Amino acid sequence: MMAVGEFMVEPISTALAGIALVRSSVAFIKDNIDTCKDIGSIMGAIDNVFQGEKEINQKRFSDDRFGVKNVAQEVIDAKLAQEQMYEISQLVDNRFGHGTWQFILAERKKRIDEEKERVKQEKAKKAMAHREMMDNVRLMFIVAGVILVCVIVLFAGLTYAADFGRTYEGKLPREQKYTTCRLIKSEWYEKDMNKRAYDPSYKCTYEHPQGKPDIQITTGPRFNCPRTLSCKRKK
């Protein structure tokens, strides 16, 4: 045993494990419990006892636990560890007062539970962050897909409109079908010569701007010849 200030340091090799770690730590506690001033002086050894017991239990449930030799050794080590733990509890209560050991167990369990809860919450936060990231990625792909569809539809619409405009424009009539013919002659219609005093009609002759032949029409009773006439263009 070595002393550093007010604290005693247990000279236990880190290579010790399981029941060997338990025995070494218990021996250290027995040698120093009567002279230590507070429980903190031997807490390192107590932690080693708990660690050794944990390693014993882990080994009992490892993959090679079904061999008879292994089963017997593990059962014996577990019982020895329990005995050593009980002996330490008695030593601690006798030195620091009844209930000290139970307080140590309760405080240790509390810290273990707090650490488990912290790890659980940390995992939950990471899982939530991962879900949010995946949701954002999915949303980004959806938005990109919608934008791509809109661009494709817009491009197709513009292309169709351009093609349709060129086709339709080629079919539009470019020339006027009618022109203006002017009156050059107005005379009584010969068939109505006998009735002209009572019901006159006229034969109207119009000059076509594209040349001969002229256009002739007759008016109804009591109608004069109009000065201009809308007539078809000649081909």
Res 10 pLDDT > 50:
no
pLDDT for 146 equals: 93
Question: Which tokens belong to 96?
Answer: 């620091």
CB 21, CB 48: distance < 8 Å: yes
- Cα 16 from Cα 52, distance rounded (Å): 9
pLDDT at residue 193 above 70?
Answer: no
Compute the distance between CA of residue 187 and CA of residue 29 in angstroms, rounded to an integer: 150
Q: Has residue 170 been placed in a domain? A: no
Residue of 175, 174, 183, 177 lying closest to 234 (CA atoms)? 177
CB-based burial label for 30 (10 Å; 0-12, 13-18, 19+): middle
* Structural domain span for residue 218: 178-232
- Could you tell me if residue 167 is inside a domain? no
Q: What mean pLDDT do residues 215-231 have? A: 82
Domain assignment of residue 133, yes or no: no
Question: Is residue 117 a part of any domain in this protein?
Answer: no
- CA–CA distances in Å: residue 35 to residues 1, 25, 155: 12, 16, 91
What percent of the chain shows pLDDT beyond 70?
77
* 104 falls within a domain: no
**Sorting pLDDT into bands at 50, 70 and 90, what band is 140?**
very high
pLDDT of the residue at 125: 93
Q: Give the Cα separation of 47 and 55 in Å (integer).
A: 12
Q: Under DSSP, is residue 85 helix (H, G, I), strand (E, B) or coil?
A: helix
> Among 98, 127, 147, which residue terminates a domain?
98
Query: Taking 60 as the threshold, does the pLDDT of residue 108 lie above it?
Result: yes
Mean pLDDT of 184-196: 68
Domain-located, residue 150: no
In a domain, 131, yes or no: no
Residues 6 and 94 in one domain: yes
Last residue of one domain, picked from the residues 80, 98, 116:
98
Lowest-confidence segment of 45-54, 103-112, 166-175 by average pLDDT? 166-175
Quick check: is 126 in a domain? no
pLDDT digits (tens, 9 = 90+) for 66-107: 555 667 777 787 788 888 888 888 888 888 888 888 988 898
How many domains is the chain partitioned into structurally? 2
Examine the fold and report which residue of 98, 118, 137 is the final residue of a domain before the chain moves on.
98
